[in-house]
A and B are shown apart, each in its own frame.
Chain A
């Protein structure tokens, strides 16, 4: 009977895409009518349905070996609006469903309505906004029309911003306002670009635009300007270094579940649109110097984000800066795509999936640790490994994926990027990837070296986490860690619906090569050395009384880094950087073309 149901579902074809588009939206609307006390379970049921729908779509794309298309209202573009799910979209839908289900299970406790109340502000806001984010990001993955995608981005942003201020303190409100204003600036730039595309070609459909752009001998100057405006607008929403002014304060005060969603999913929505613009709309961009600009920003993000993460004293902010670094990896693929676009795209998609699972797990693990200790100061984590063994384990396993150790998804990403960097002679990218991994290892082991030793806490924990919460965090971390063990055919899914690459099989060859013993060892030994160094430093610190605050030299490199970070997050500086980036991208696109 199940087989018959499955066959029926497959027959629906493109109509299937309406489910991930509308299910979250219906959920968002009905959530206002559902009784407050059952809201959490209602959302959970919806998320389960959503996971099933995403799985069916992935299966339909995989078995049909082609992208699913749908024309809304039966109107063909350019008049109407089309939806499409290629392998990439299907994988993203599935990742989103998995991560959101994890967050949904985790948040059952924190956002339930206490006995005696019909409804609370936190509960209603969290569950409705979670549906809003889900609907926005699903539309981003499916939409093929630049304006529909704009509306999707707005749904995503307007749902994400209030989550930052859910705790209702004045500093969280300020952080949310910061996020809102900067994200809206990004929206305006994106919309301006979309207007220029429409003004030039009279259509907003990505496939039609791609044909028109590819068919033209010379591009009208408005086109590179539009691409640059849209890219920079989306960078502001993705928080690529140096446009990260809202990221640290937002995470500092957001509830852990909200941080998990923001870091794992929301910033990936705008990144996905950058992928669509550079790989689908104007693949010619990838051969220009502009791709190097994005790559350089990505490399800077990896080094800067990881170094600043090392300086953090709060666990949550450490994870937030680690997100800044991990977003950097996503942009390394642009300068590499000129060599092999399928290798670059696979690396980018794997990084999105691996980071989404790992980072959601780590933020939620940090949330459980903070709830249990009553704080999240890294230097005072002693004993949490005994009190919350599963949670600390999940944090560590998620971290292994961020470092890029086998068999994690992060390992595949590093393997692909390193190989592509060597192939295209861009050694500096190879070095950045290796350095980034080691810096990540340094702060991960530092956190673990604080959390693991020590006796069980003598004082009872502030709040004892539920087993379900600990298990779901561990499950998400395992998803990231075991991603590398997926069969190669799963990676092939990413290629479905894309124009056949000249170097098909390059990805499979590289990935098959990743499992030789010397490769595994080569990825392991530097990390082991870093681990040993961290332990040695920690041992010395324990024997030495800690230096009092504020007595260290004022011009230490660490201080300088903090001050640079502070400077970059000032409004005038961030605004100027936005303008400079637009100018730089326009310049490199016009000259290169």
Chain B
């Protein structure tokens, strides 16, 4: 008991200390690196809170892919950073902001402490109806059966987000390849890593999706790992990102949500309600949807990081400059 307490206390101190460090960090790149580490610490916190599914999501999306995005943004903004530092607000304003932020944090903490203890929960009802879905992981039960519509709409929200990123391109660049990830310099170790790691990464990703039905894991976590492998291959220069007008890629982007809606609509005839599954086939149908969603989420995440398309000559120039 006490040893657990010591670990928890150390974890909390580390999280708070790292958060302070990130806030105080001068260079955006350093702060982004700190953010990745911070995400990994939060993953441990979630594990300690016995929320393994959340921990995996935090590690894969909150820390991994978001961190990658921030690192990329920091690298691109580096030339403007000195200018930005010169225009930073005075000490009084910064102290004021700090005090206000602390007050908000205190207010949030107070509100959370106001909540009843033990917290009311649907966990028992979730567990009681789980056999009807053929699943073993209650989190997957919530995401794919009870609240399937939320998962469906979330997977759809990714599409406007991607279109938002794409729409940052120029009219000339439309139809070209995404230009955010430029291949690394030749002679670096990345190409080797990008040859060795993906077979294992892909296996882990697929395992996360497959295991998600009964154990912690699932399509979002699995897709994040798969997307990371794809990005590694693109950054290493082994494969180019597909042009945004690529028909196959467009199909992969939408196949998951479409498959979800199709099976959901079939549920009207077969199981009496939209997004319901006939009991005998519940698990295979859910797995089919998860497989489709994994493909689409992987494609969206990879393309979100790959950025807006640029005209082909510019893309070639960027690639050459690096190699």
B254 contacts A33, C-beta separation under 8 Å: yes
Query: Which residues A266-280 have CB closer than 8 A to chain B?
Result: none
B146 contacts A73, C-beta separation under 8 Å: yes
Q: Cα distance A361–B93 when bound, in Å?
A: 44
B251 contacts A121, C-beta separation under 8 Å: no
Interface flags for B119-146 (1: CB within 8 Å of A; 0: not) read: 1111001100100000000000000011
Taking a contact as CB atoms closer than 8 A, the residue among A71, A72, A158, A200 that contacts B115 in the complex is A200
Does B168 have its Cβ within 8 Å of any Cβ on chain A? yes
Give chain A nearest CB distance to B47 CB in angstroms. 21
Q: Cα distance A483–B59 when bound, in Å?
A: 54
Query: Which residues B127-172 have CB closer than 8 A to chain A?
Result: 129, 145-150, 152-154, 156-157, 159-161, 163-164, 166-171
Does B34 have its Cβ within 8 Å of any Cβ on chain A? no
B125 contacts A72, C-beta separation under 8 Å: no
Give chain A nearest CB distance to B119 CB in angstroms. 6
Q: Cα distance A128–B251 when bound, in Å?
A: 15
Taking a contact as CB atoms closer than 8 A, the residue among A75, A122, A200 that contacts B146 in the complex is A75
B-side interface size class: 35 or more
Give chain A nearest CB distance to B244 CB in angstroms. 9
Which of A77-85, A343-351, A385-393 is the interface stretch?
A77-85
Does A478 have its Cβ within 8 Å of any Cβ on chain B? no
Q: Cα distance A70–B149 when bound, in Å?
A: 12
**Size of the chain A interface, CB-CB below 8 angstroms:** 62
B115 contacts A196, C-beta separation under 8 Å: yes
Known contacts A26-B258, A32-B253, A196-B115, A148 near B153 by CB under 8 Å: yes
Does A453 have its Cβ within 8 Å of any Cβ on chain B? no
Residues of B within 8 A of A158 (CB): 157, 160-161, 164
Taking a contact as CB atoms closer than 8 A, the residue among A128, A129, A148, A225 that contacts B150 in the complex is A148
Q: Cα distance A176–B167 when bound, in Å?
A: 12
Residues of B within 8 A of A576 (CB): 100
A121 contacts B153, C-beta separation under 8 Å: no
Q: Cα distance A25–B260 when bound, in Å?
A: 12
A78 contacts B122, C-beta separation under 8 Å: yes
Which of B148, B157, B160, B171 counts the most A-chain CB atoms under 10 A from its CB? B160
Known contacts A80-B146, A81-B150, A201-B120, A74 near B171 by CB under 8 Å: no
Known contacts A29-B257, A81-B150, A155-B156, A72 near B273 by CB under 8 Å: yes
Known contacts A29-B258, A75-B145, A128-B163, A579 near B100 by CB under 8 Å: yes
Known contacts A32-B253, A33-B254, A74-B271, A148 near B167 by CB under 8 Å: no
Taking a contact as CB atoms closer than 8 A, the residue among A32, A145, A173, A572 that contacts B250 in the complex is A32
Query: Which residues A129-157 have CB closer than 8 A to chain B?
Result: 129, 132, 135, 139, 145, 147-148, 151-152, 154-155
Query: Which residues B209-232 have CB closer than 8 A to chain A?
Result: none
Q: Cα distance A32–B247 when bound, in Å?
A: 9
B160 contacts A132, C-beta separation under 8 Å: yes
Residues of B within 8 A of A151 (CB): 150, 153-154, 157
Known contacts A129-B160, A151-B154, A121 near B126 by CB under 8 Å: no
Q: Cα distance A221–B100 when bound, in Å?
A: 22
B171 contacts A73, C-beta separation under 8 Å: no
| Interface residues of chain B: helix, strand, loop or mixed (majority) | helix
B115 contacts A222, C-beta separation under 8 Å: yes
Taking a contact as CB atoms closer than 8 A, the residue among A30, A120, A147, A222 that contacts B111 in the complex is A222
Known contacts A73-B274, A161-B164, A121 near B171 by CB under 8 Å: yes
Which of A162-170, A315-323, A326-334 is the interface stretch?
A162-170
Known contacts A29-B156, A158-B157, A158-B160, A73 near B145 by CB under 8 Å: yes
Q: Cα distance A394–B11 when bound, in Å?
A: 64
A73 contacts B149, C-beta separation under 8 Å: yes
Give chain A nearest CB distance to B165 CB in angstroms. 9
Does A15 have its Cβ within 8 Å of any Cβ on chain B? yes
Taking a contact as CB atoms closer than 8 A, the residue among B112, B163, B168 that contacts A124 in the complex is B163
Give chain A nearest CB distance to B43 CB in angstroms. 20
Interface flags for B66-107 (1: CB within 8 Å of A; 0: not) read: 000000000000000000000000000100000010001000
Q: Cα distance A203–B126 when bound, in Å?
A: 13
B159 contacts A29, C-beta separation under 8 Å: yes
Cβ-closest chain B residue relative to A28: B159
> With A29-B257, A29-B258, A81-B149 given, can you name 13 additional A-B contacts, CB distance below 8 Å?
A15-B268, A25-B152, A28-B160, A30-B258, A33-B254, A73-B149, A119-B174, A124-B166, A128-B163, A173-B168, A200-B115, A201-B120, A220-B116
